Structure 1
């Protein structure tokens, strides 16, 4: 990467996204964040990033975020099961929750922030708006996208989160843009709420388990948000990760330093 590179982080105020921004700033990479709440992002990142106001669910808000962008890291997502984060309008009463769980058409009509609207339609909008000379599009997907019929992923996909992630992956892979897909297991470690920048820069897994990468959607287990964010950032510095998808979980003994280039290079001869 060069001093002229500019990374657009989408989903920057979420758990993984906050950490991605912090790790990019540690590497002195210029960052622009796409957010619906400029004041929140300015406070969170201490005015050290460019702010673009937009929403991937609204395609017409995205072109203004794209000038001079060289890389996109997309960390968007919502809960796998219906919750207040699905942004129902108006908020359902007790009886309506039953209909939401049973009727997919009613659910999609009532909610603004379902997996379909975020990870399928929203990511497709982002792909369409991305500069055609983009150097890399990094997308945080999920383990299980190719194992939706197998437990526990069949339960996780009860409301379509893996279907939506897979559609997002397909939109990226079929776009002609260079990409890297990161598929974490069940996300663990903070931030669980908004951190300030100083806290983000000091984020640590506290000596927890080592990092295991795989390909072909074969891994299962927990994945530290901190390591997922690091994988997203490190991948854009490693050319051999282009047009590949990687599973990531935490397992085994953690070395003093994670050698991301070695971890990725062990797998980059794969056909995926």
Structure 2
């Protein structure tokens, strides 16, 4: 890390993203939050970050956020199944909600914030806008990308969330940018959306389990949002995580200190 490093966090006001911002600030990074709601971000992070107003779904809003960046950490996402977060326009009535669950393709087309538009197109737009001299692009993806024909991932992918995240991964891996892709298990701990920055800076996992990383999309289990956020930040600190795609779950006894360099160094390549 140098005094010139500036990290853009996309999805910085979400469950994992806000924890990422807190960890970056704790370690002395300069942070810029990409958000659609500047006032929300400024209040959440006590005016300690830069704020860039933009939307990954709208490519024209992204260039202004890319000035002088060293790293991008992308924590954007939406719900796996139709919900109010999909931002249906116009809003659905009760009968239309039922139809949405019966017709995944139709519901995706009517939503402004579906997985296809956030996890696939949005991530691709962010990659296309990224500076070519970027030191690292970190992306929070999901376990199950390579197991979409197996339970429970076949159910999780009912509305295409894993398909969309895979397209996002592919855009990153083929971009020529240095990258790290993290595939967490089922997220637990938090989110801390109602807490202040001081709480975020002190956030520690309440679990007693260690951090396990693996490659090849073979791991399953729960993953603490706090540990996922830590992995994002530690990834840009340790060169050994560059070019790696790995799952993260919480299993086994938790050591007093998580040795991220050892965890990253033991990973093979995808």
TM over 0.5: yes
Separation in structure 2 between the aligned mates of residue 114 and residue 13 of structure 1, nearest angstrom: 18
Give the corresponding residue for 1:157.
Answer: 157
Give the corresponding residue for 2:246.
Answer: 246
Give the corresponding residue for 1:67.
Answer: 67
SS in 2 for 1:213: strand
Report how far residue 244 of structure 1 moved.
1.0
Separation in structure 2 between the aligned mates of residue 150 and residue 265 of structure 1, nearest angstrom: 29
Give the corresponding residue for 1:171.
Answer: 171
Give the corresponding residue for 2:103.
Answer: 103
Give the corresponding residue for 2:26.
Answer: 26
SS in 1 for 2:237: coil
Give the corresponding residue for 2:76.
Answer: 76
Separation in structure 1 between the aligned mates of residue 232 and residue 258 of structure 2, nearest angstrom: 14
Structure 2 alignment gaps of length 5 or more: none
Separation in structure 2 between the aligned mates of residue 33 and residue 9 of structure 1, nearest angstrom: 5
Separation in structure 2 between the aligned mates of residue 34 and residue 137 of structure 1, nearest angstrom: 14
SS in 1 for 2:253: coil
Give the corresponding residue for 1:141.
Answer: 141
TM normalised by structure 2 equals: 0.98
Report how far residue 193 of structure 1 moved.
2.9
How many residue pairs get aligned? The number is 270
Give the corresponding residue for 2:209.
Answer: 209
Structure 2 residue 160 is the aligned partner of structure 1 residue 193: no
Separation in structure 2 between the aligned mates of residue 9 and residue 192 of structure 1, nearest angstrom: 16
Separation in structure 2 between the aligned mates of residue 132 and residue 23 of structure 1, nearest angstrom: 25
Separation in structure 2 between the aligned mates of residue 182 and residue 106 of structure 1, nearest angstrom: 30
> After TM superposition, which residue ranges in structure 1, 4 or more long, deviate above 3 angstroms?
none
Give the corresponding residue for 1:271.
Answer: 269
Separation in structure 1 between the aligned mates of residue 129 and residue 104 of structure 2, nearest angstrom: 29
Q: Contact 2:240 / 2:261 at 8 angstroms: preserved in 1? A: no
Report how far residue 205 of structure 1 moved.
1.0
SS in 2 for 1:252: strand
Q: Contact 1:13 / 1:194 at 8 angstroms: preserved in 2? A: no
Report how far residue 59 of structure 1 moved.
0.5
Report how far residue 103 of structure 1 moved.
2.3
Report how far residue 192 of structure 1 moved.
4.8
Separation in structure 2 between the aligned mates of residue 163 and residue 271 of structure 1, nearest angstrom: 22
SS in 2 for 1:41: helix
Q: Contact 1:238 / 1:261 at 8 angstroms: preserved in 2? A: yes
Give the corresponding residue for 2:4.
Answer: 4
Provide Cα deviations, 1:106-135, integer angstroms capped at 9, x if missing partner: 212321110000000000000000000000
Report how far residue 208 of structure 1 moved.
2.2
SS in 2 for 1:236: helix
Separation in structure 1 between the aligned mates of residue 110 and residue 164 of structure 2, nearest angstrom: 18
TM normalised by structure 1 equals: 0.97
Report how far residue 35 of structure 1 moved.
0.3
